Structure 1
Amino acid sequence: MHQKILIADDEAGIRRLLRGYLEKAGFRVTEARNGKESLERCRAEKPDLLILDLMMPEMDGLDVFRAVRQESQVPIIMLSARAEETDRLVGLELGADDYVVKPFSPREVVARVRAVLRRSTQADRPVRALLQAGPIRLDMAKRTVTVDGEAKALTTAQFDILAALMLEPGRVFTRLQLLERIQGSAFEGYERTIDVHIKNIRRVLGDSSVKPRLIGTVRGVGYRLLEG
């Protein structure tokens, strides 16, 4: 069955453009014209991925995002006319899987959709099904994470970053290398978004950037999983 994409944007032209390219790529597409409708459709239709515009009437995109995240871990790609890095980082800070700035290339959006969906499925998971590092236990098959037996919720991007680090403890990954793991190709302009993902992973796992026990920072290079 083809995967379903929900496009939530108040601009009919944007919805029409993305629908055309996504359907041509083999996806099923449904649409929402405002924030309230997007939340209702997300609950009723349970899409495989949500493309969510931040500036919509009736309910702001960020409010929709927060409401969806309380109920589901569906992958979310944010759309915004705001190109500032701080806006992009805020979206990722909240747990978005990707952030696309308008105007955009529809082909790039399709590529981003495929990359995010690839991360959220189990098709490319490593042979090792269970990974353990100190109190962290990561189940690749079920895509679950526990710390001292307590379940923790990670987005698909956060899960794959943590998996990459846990598969090779001690190895230093550059930001671009981690970005390539979660996007399929490295976009240098988004390199710093890895810092936001790491910050969120640390918060969820109860780790600290000042005195890290789990994920260490290698200044000027990237990150590694601490051993021992």
Structure 2
Amino acid sequence: MSEDRAPGSAAGNAAGNAAGNKVLVVDDEPGLAHALAITLRAHGWQVHTAADGAGAIEAVAARHPDVVLLDLGLPDISGLDVITAVRAWSNVPIVVLSARQHGEDKVDALDAGADDYVTKPFAMDELLARLRAAVRRAAAPTDDGEAVVQAGALSIDLARRRVARDGSDVRLTPTEWAMLEVLVRHRGRLVTRHQLLQAVWGPGYTDETHYLRVYSAQLRRKLEDDPAHPRHVVTRPGMGYVFEV
């Protein structure tokens, strides 16, 4: 595990882009990790690096990054195992950066708890935008005047960004919360797939419908008594989703 510090001039010139947010770069290719660190520093990020899965898990616990940029092909343990391990105790946004371009790899990573998936080779501007979006979702401002929404055994506090089921707290990742929040704020009304993708992931992601399948399944596993027959997170085939109270 190591830390890369930005020279004062570069960080100062670019601080407006990332506002000093901390990113943990996990990649076993030294050249790529170094290049990413240089570019991220130039855009105002504080950068820490790890070259393997064990170092990544340790760094998340010790450094408390605002977002993790994670390669799946690590030398000691699978990146999927890293996601699973981190998700056991942390909701830090995780953006996967991988050469694996098969759809099932993306679904496996998202299903394990990743918030986004970028394939190599990649456009740096897009990667930076996805990192910023992941951090925004995790730190989205809330409306303190919003009432708590009751839906059966669920209590959804939109102001404090908390969910309880039968009185017990439910841990949601930033992206799971972002999707649930959009649906709850429009409860009883259809939110189209296009609207949901744009609201949660941004205008460049309106064709990534597999994200919705993965995250709706995750929400149902955490929120529904019978995920196979959901009462609250309801799919309208070919159209979108409705949150029913």
**Which TM-score applies when normalising by structure 1?**
0.92
What is the DSSP-based 3-state SS (H/G/I as helix, E as strand, rest coil) of the residue aligned with 1:118?
helix
Find out whether 1:36 has 2:54 as its counterpart: yes
What is the DSSP-based 3-state SS (H/G/I as helix, E as strand, rest coil) of the residue aligned with 1:51?
strand
Deviates more, 1:68-77 or 1:18-27: 18-27
> Do the aligned partners of 1:176 and 1:186 also contact (CA within 8 Å) in 2?
no
Q: Which residue does 1:156 correspond to in 2?
A: 174
In our comparison, the structure showing a higher alpha carbon Rg is 2
Measure, in 2, the Cα distance between the counterparts of 1:11 and 1:79: 12
- Cα pair distance change 1:211/1:33, threshold 3 Å: closer
- Cα pair distance change 1:178/1:32, threshold 3 Å: same
Aligned counterpart for 2:160 among listed residues 135, 138, 142: 142
Tell me by how many angstroms 1:87 deviates: 0.8
Tell me by how many angstroms 1:142 deviates: 2.9
Find out whether 1:65 has 2:78 as its counterpart: no
Aligned length: 226
Q: Which residue does 1:220 correspond to in 2?
A: 238
Name the aligned partner's letter for residue 65 of structure 1.
I
Name the aligned partner's letter for residue 84 of structure 1.
H
Aligned counterpart for 2:74 among listed residues 15, 35, 56: 56
Name the aligned partner's letter for residue 31 of structure 1.
T
Tell me by how many angstroms 1:206 deviates: 2.3
Which consecutive residues of structure 2, in runs of 5 or more, have no partner in the other structure? 1-18
Name the aligned partner's letter for residue 216 of structure 1.
V
Measure, in 2, the Cα distance between the counterparts of 1:224 and 1:186: 23
Name the aligned partner's letter for residue 191 of structure 1.
T
Measure, in 2, the Cα distance between the counterparts of 1:225 and 1:158: 14
What is the DSSP-based 3-state SS (H/G/I as helix, E as strand, rest coil) of the residue aligned with 1:37?
helix
> Do the aligned partners of 2:69 and 2:96 also contact (CA within 8 Å) in 1?
yes
> Do the aligned partners of 2:224 and 2:230 also contact (CA within 8 Å) in 1?
no
Give the 5 Å matches for 1:1-228: 2-123=20-141, 125-126=142-143, 128=146, 130-208=148-226, 210-227=228-245
Tell me by how many angstroms 1:94 deviates: 1.0
What is the DSSP-based 3-state SS (H/G/I as helix, E as strand, rest coil) of the residue aligned with 2:180?
helix
Measure, in 1, the Cα distance between the counterparts of 2:188 and 2:213: 18
Measure, in 1, the Cα distance between the counterparts of 2:228 and 2:213: 14
Measure, in 1, the Cα distance between the counterparts of 2:228 and 2:55: 43
Identical aligned residues as a percent: 38
What is the DSSP-based 3-state SS (H/G/I as helix, E as strand, rest coil) of the residue aligned with 2:146?
coil
Aligned-CA RMSD value: 1.8
Q: Which residue does 2:13 correspond to in 1?
A: none
Measure, in 1, the Cα distance between the counterparts of 2:209 and 2:152: 28
Name the aligned partner's letter for residue 30 of structure 1.
H
Measure, in 2, the Cα distance between the counterparts of 1:134 and 1:206: 10
